Amino acid sequence: MGAFEQLLNGFAVAADPMILFYSLIGVTLGTAVGVLPGIGPALTVALLLPVTYGLDPAGSLIMFAGIYYGGMYGGSTTSILLNTPGESASIVTALEGNKMARAGRGGPALATAAIGSFVAGLIATLLLAFLAPSVVKLALVFGPREYFALMVLAFVTVSAAFGDSARKGLTSLFLGLALALVGIDGLTGQARLSFGVPQLLDGIEVTTLAVAMFAIGEALFVAGQRHRDDSGVLAIKGSIWMTGADWARSWKAWLRGTFIGFPIGAMPAGGADIASFLSYAAERRATKHPEEFGHGAIEGVAGPEAANNAAAAGTLVPLLTLGLPTTATAAIMLAGFQQFGLQPGPLLFVTNASLVWGLIAALLIANVMLVVLNLPLIGLWVRLLTIPTPWLYAGILVFATMGTMGANPSAVELGQLLVFGVMGYLLRLWSYPIAPVVVGMILGPMAEQQLRRALAIAQGDPLTLVQSPVAAVLLGLALLALVVPMILRARGQGEVLAHLAGNED
Amino acid sequence: MTGTPDHDARRPPGAAPSPRRVDRVGLIVAVGLAALSAVLFWDAARIPSTGGYAGIGPADTPRLIGLGLALLAAWAAWDAFKAPAEPAPAQDLPPILWIVGGLGLQLLLFRSAGFSIAGGILFACTAAAFGRRKLWITLPIGIVFALAVFAVFAMLLELSLPAGPLERLVFGV
């Protein structure tokens, strides 16, 4: 069956009223957390994992994906009206978007962001649908060594290729890898790093780690900041509709952003934030109005907002077809699949075809819901921004601990939350990236298993790892992704990379 | 979400590099990583080595990661001496202590006092960290908020949250 028929079947699954309801909850929550600074899609999905334990797997996963998409939409609202990004992929949106809002053009800025997100989400989700079956075919020839090589590549691109220091990224990655060792070894049943504490035999929950790092680490960092930026929310003045000139300048930027964002998300090359930076750079180069950049150029909003949505959809390609998460949100979504006993990868397309295609179809529907939520109802979301910071963070922390207690009401679990929260705070304070810790934590044990399987097949000969052409090329790419940025930084050309810091979501 | 809305928050423009020759933070990181590496090697030493066909067993991955951490520790120490120290953003300690204290109290109290009271204390402490120090106002608000959360998630969605005297009084659980 071709992708088209599969997708039609998917719509049959997604049109179920319950599934539509889940996806509506997902996109609504996603928009809300996207709008609220200090809380993003990765944290939200982590908090909801324990809550969805007893619910319908398809519905829950569709809800998570809706949160991811919604977060990308909502983040732009905060960037434009508050000059503080609602989540990390909207940092560049603030550059031009906030200037537009200050000049009384907040409406068109919000509109181009929302419509651009819609266009990009639509095209990128269709690309996902038609690309996924071919990647699945490719993945079927992958053996343990190819998977291991692919994971090594993902490790490097997530940690060392972008950001201001390869050392800091790798340090975060190895912290995650070390934490992942705690508990029982999946292949032999040997307990590792559990120090005789029975609760540690189960390992460290990725949700506990993510909640601690994202919610508590962030709250500590913001609370400790001596100079808090208290610039108020800008009111939306004038019409929210775009003029003909706005449309003419936006549509090319949307398409460019989509075709920059999707491959960046689909290849293990970092997440939505990197895509949005690259798109901004491309718009700056392509524009016919260079004098407007820095003073509110609409292309600078349209391109990056399309790019971050396209990248979010792109991220789902390696996640669904290979089981390979390349962002923190994708890593936690993988944990979500595992919670329901599902392992993303080529087999999922065979054994759970209706779930996968239902998910893809639901995302297309969610995209329509999102543009409705984010354009006519924009006033509602703006009101969220007026919640005073103390109440906002107090509420976030109560929810954070609620999620952890719901998963496992033990003092050991809450203790971990506190310890990792302080660790997340220190990482933030000393500008170490957070995402590699989470990705290392979830991908580490998978990489270990593939490595040991590959070596077992070759009876312990380490050369086997480079003897397959695919694996050799992937490892070669990983080496390049590690070495080239280091040379660039050493030669003083690292500034661009620092701006591309793929950070949280 | 992001911790630093803009890079300027982290590195204020015009902030001179620290006059200190050694970056203290870098050294702390180096020592921490070295200690973690030592723990991994120490734990691996106690695991029976059963490589089997693979030639590597459950003790070898920790050694590999331990080696990586040791190298990163050396790199951090090298940078601490060679690279100019990066100024960390200015931070106040009291708000940090409020939140850590709130989490600690919740950890100690959640079994006996229940979700809502422990959560309310955390709520009030966090609000205090952000400048709302009137505990006689924030604590009741926090408890009511946590009770509402309990109602939705424990009663409606059947999540198992620890119940205390207050939950028993209100919901009879």
Percent of chain B with pLDDT over 90: 51
Q: Which residues of chain A lie closer than 8 angstroms to B32, CB-CB?
A: none
Among chain A residues, CA nearest to B112? A411
Q: Which of A87, A455, A503 sits opposite B55 (nearest CB)?
A: A455
Is the pLDDT score of B4 beyond 70? no
Is the pLDDT score of B18 beyond 80? no
* CB contact burial A261-279 (16+ within 10 A = b; e otherwise): bbbbbbbbbbbbbbbbbbb
User: Are the beta carbons of B1 and A192 separated by less than 8 Å?
Assistant: no
Average pLDDT rounded to a whole number, residues A134-145: 88
Among chain A residues, CA nearest to B49? A190
**Which one is predicted more confidently, A286 or B129?**
B129
- Do A88 and A446 form a contact (C-beta atoms < 8 A)? no
Those residues with Cβ within 8 angstroms of residue A385's Cβ, 6 or more apart along the chain or in another chain: A35, A36, A77, A78, A81, A82, A233
Q: Which of B33, B92, B110 sits opposite A224 (nearest CB)?
A: B92
pTM: 0.88
Segment 195-224 of chain A within 8 Å of chain B by CB: 195, 214, 216-224
Segment 80-119 of chain B within 8 Å of chain A by CB: 86, 88-93, 95-96, 98-100, 102-104, 106-107, 110-111, 115, 119
Is the pLDDT score of B74 beyond 90? yes
- Do A374 and A114 form a contact (C-beta atoms < 8 A)? yes
Inter-CA distances, A398 with A206, A207, B117, B129, Å: 19, 15, 11, 14
A244 CA to chain B: closest CA distance, Å? Answer: 33
**SS3 letters across A247-308:** HHHHHHHHHHHHHHHHHHHHCCCCCHHHHHHHHHHHHHHHCCCHHHCCCCCCHHHHHHHHHH
Average pLDDT rounded to a whole number, residues A90-100: 84
For A416-464, what is each residue's pLDDT tens digit?
A: 999 999 999 999 899 898 889 998 998 999 999 999 999 988 888 888 8
- pLDDT score of A99: 87
Is the pLDDT score of A188 beyond 60? yes
Average pLDDT rounded to a whole number, residues A114-126: 93
**Which one is predicted more confidently, A53 or B94?**
B94
Is the pLDDT score of B6 beyond 60? no
A6 CA to chain B: closest CA distance, Å? Answer: 33
User: Are the beta carbons of B52 and A456 separated by less than 8 Å?
Assistant: yes
Q: Choose the most confident range, by mean pLDDT, from A226-240, A438-452, B84-98.
A: A438-452
- Do A365 and A358 form a contact (C-beta atoms < 8 A)? no
Q: Which of B66, B107, B145 sits opposite A398 (nearest CB)?
A: B145
Is the pLDDT score of A259 beyond 70? yes
Average pLDDT rounded to a whole number, residues A36-40: 80
> Rounded to 5 degrees, what angle do the CA atoms A219, A416, A418 make?
30
Q: At A56, is the pLDDT very low, low, confident or very high (cuts 50, 70, 90)?
A: confident
The string of DSSP letters for A425-445 reads HHHHHTT--SHHHHHHHHHHH
* Of A149, A104, A56, nearest in space to A450 by CA: A149
Residue A224: what residue type?
Answer: G
Q: Which residues pair with B44 in a beta bridge?
A: none
- pLDDT score of B38: 95
- pLDDT score of A409: 82
- pLDDT score of A417: 93
> In this predicted structure, which of A61-75, A89-103, A230-244, B23-37 has the lowest mean pLDDT?
A230-244
Q: Which residues of chain B lie closer than 8 angstroms to A181, CB-CB?
A: 40, 61-62, 65
Residue A163: what residue type?
Answer: G
Average pLDDT rounded to a whole number, residues A206-227: 87
For B106-115, what is each residue's pLDDT tens digit?
A: 999 998 999 9
**B34 close contact with A: CB closer than 8 A:** no
Q: Which of A170, A193, A455 sits opposite B56 (nearest CB)?
A: A455
Tokens 């580490």 label which residue?
A444
> In this predicted structure, which of A268-277, A389-398, B20-29 has the lowest mean pLDDT?
A268-277
Domain ranges of chain A: 2-501
User: Are the beta carbons of B1 and A504 separated by less than 8 Å?
Assistant: yes
Among chain A residues, CA nearest to B40? A193
Average pLDDT rounded to a whole number, residues B111-134: 93
Is the pLDDT score of A358 beyond 80? yes
User: Are the beta carbons of A414 and B75 separated by less than 8 Å?
Assistant: no
The string of DSSP letters for A193-208 reads S-TT-GGGGG---HHH
- pLDDT score of A231: 58
Is the pLDDT score of A230 beyond 80? no
Instruction: Please state whether A459 falls in left (phi above 0), alpha (psi between -120 and 50) or beta.
Output: left
Q: Which of A84, A171, A220 sits opposite B96 (nearest CB)?
A: A220
Those residues with Cβ within 8 angstroms of residue B62's Cβ, 6 or more apart along the chain or in another chain: A181, A192, A193, B40, B41, B43, B44, B47
User: Are the beta carbons of A405 and B162 separated by less than 8 Å?
Assistant: yes
Instruction: Compute the mean pLDDT over every residue in chain A, rounded to the nearest whole number.
Output: 86
Average pLDDT rounded to a whole number, residues A26-36: 90
**A91 close contact with B: CB closer than 8 A:** yes
Q: Which residues of chain B lie closer than 8 angstroms to A87, CB-CB?
A: 1-2
Is the pLDDT score of B7 beyond 70? no
Average pLDDT rounded to a whole number, residues A210-217: 90
**Which one is predicted more confidently, B82 or B151?**
B151
**A455 close contact with B: CB closer than 8 A:** yes
**A504 close contact with B: CB closer than 8 A:** yes
